[in-house]
Structure 1
Amino acid sequence: MQPVPQMTVDTLKARLNNGEAIQLIDVREHEEVAHGIIPGAKHIPMNDIPNRIDEIDPNAETIFICRSGYRSERVCEYLQQVGIECGINLEGGMLAWAEIEGPIA
């Protein structure tokens, strides 16, 4: 397995501000997402990924997001194992995002 590509929150913010269309998937649990989500992100809880894999465009660059970057990196590893190479982990997750963006409401 190859190392999971990483993206910093600064890079993601800049790309979103430039209007780039990036597939964002938040893998946190429902109660976590209730506290806020990056605008435009689709919510697919980590444990639902295998059953909802058809909702992930394998040809699109996809940033996976969780609270700290750990679960989203595991999702990227899983996708690699099933032959989907589009996954990029958001380093530091929502904790890092909140440091530059403030709390998400």
Structure 2
Amino acid sequence: MKEMTAKEVEVLLNKGEQLNLIDVRETEEVADGKIPGAINIPLGLVEFRMHELDKSKEYIMICRSGGRSGRASQTLESHGYKVINMAGGMLSWEGKVE
């Protein structure tokens, strides 16, 4: 599984890169703040909503610490999606939140 640090993601966003971010935390966790532009798909719904994703795009998976996003990454990879897990999750995030 490919991984990227929170800092690497932040640098790309600050450069104006268009990233496909998926936050797999629960809705109430996301209410406390998420990376701007991230789409919330709670981990338990990833398998049911993967049809909403485009297999030609690469997705960066985010959670609180990196564990749930790692599981989501494995699930999506096994179905042919290109994914990167954001290691350290939101606990490591120092950038803007919305």
TM-score category (smaller protein)? over 0.9
1:93 aligns with 2:82: no
Cα-to-partner distance string for 1:77-96 (whole Å, 9 max, x where unaligned): 11122222x11000100000
TM superposition score normalised by structure 1: 0.87
1:5 aligns with 2:2: yes
1:76 aligns with 2:73: yes
TM superposition score normalised by structure 2: 0.93
**Bigger strand fraction:** 2
Cα-to-partner distance string for 1:28-78 (whole Å, 9 max, x where unaligned): 001100101100000111111111112222111210000000000111111
Cα distance in structure 2, aligned partners of 1:33 and 1:73 = 17
Unaligned stretches of 5+ residues in structure 2: none
Q: For 1:25, give the aligned amino acid.
A: I
> Which residue in the other structure is 2:41 paired with?
44
Structure of higher CA gyration radius: 1
Task: Give 3-state SS (helix, strand or coil) of 2:60's partner.
Answer: strand
Unaligned stretches of 5+ residues in structure 1: none
Cα-Cα RMSD: 1.3
Task: Give 3-state SS (helix, strand or coil) of 2:64's partner.
Answer: coil
Cα distance in structure 1, aligned partners of 2:7 and 2:50 = 28
What does 1:21-32 correspond to in 2, within 5 Å? 21-32=18-29
> Which residue in the other structure is 2:58 paired with?
61
Aligned length: 98
